Structure 1
Amino acid sequence: MAKILVVDDDKLTRMMLNDALSEAGHQVIEADDGKKVAALLKQHFPHILITDIIMPDQEGIETILQMKREHPALPIIAISGHYNYLKMAEAFGVNAILLKPIDEAQLLNKVDELLASL
């Protein structure tokens, strides 16, 4: 079982990710914007961060850059409905990308791959 921090401003996406990851035996911590990530990391020490790109307050690219500076070993999966934003996230060093709508099997495979590399 891993702790996974899911960051997305869309409640339905967070619910879907939470359900899929929880059913696979993982503990899910949720946030609705990137500003909450730093505090949640200190409190929960997740194994993986899954973040949306387009969010209010602090968007995903800014969150990714902050986490790469502060927690360079933390695996990050970027999610978005826009492929161009995902390519940008790849350029900033995320470990995996998933295009919305997210395929649950693909999500769980990516999570398993990242956990195996820890």
Structure 2
Amino acid sequence: MAAFLGDIGMGAAVGPYEFRVLPLFRELPPPPRVPVACVVGVGVDTPELLAYPGDGFAGSPRMVMGDGDGLVNLASLVAVDPAWRRPAAQFSMVKVRNVSHTGLLVDDRALAVIIRAILRPS
């Protein structure tokens, strides 16, 4: 990432990235001690990676699409699932097909899932 930031002319961002952003991703926080239902949209074309021609970052990249909610890719959406899915944790991951990131707030199917999760007895 440091090389990428330097190559795109954002060398000043390397320090903040290394000292602020990286620590956030080294370890996920422990699961909350309350029931959590993580509702995510899936099945929507989502940027997965940028493929640059050659060995460096010269030229325009080609965007490779993958699964996700149109904004966040599937790997990021489900990152907490293995860490939080423990016997002591009250965690569920619900994937709503063909619903976008912002669609979760207006799609009738997604809202029904969210309401069921809220009303579920703990």
The bucket for the TM-score relative to the shorter chain is 0.3 to 0.5
Structure of larger gyration radius? 2
Give the number of the structure with larger relative contact order, counting CA–CA contacts within 8 Å between residues 6 or more apart. Answer: 2
Q: Which has the higher helix share?
A: 1
TM norm structure 2: 0.33
With normalisation by structure 1, the TM-score equals 0.34
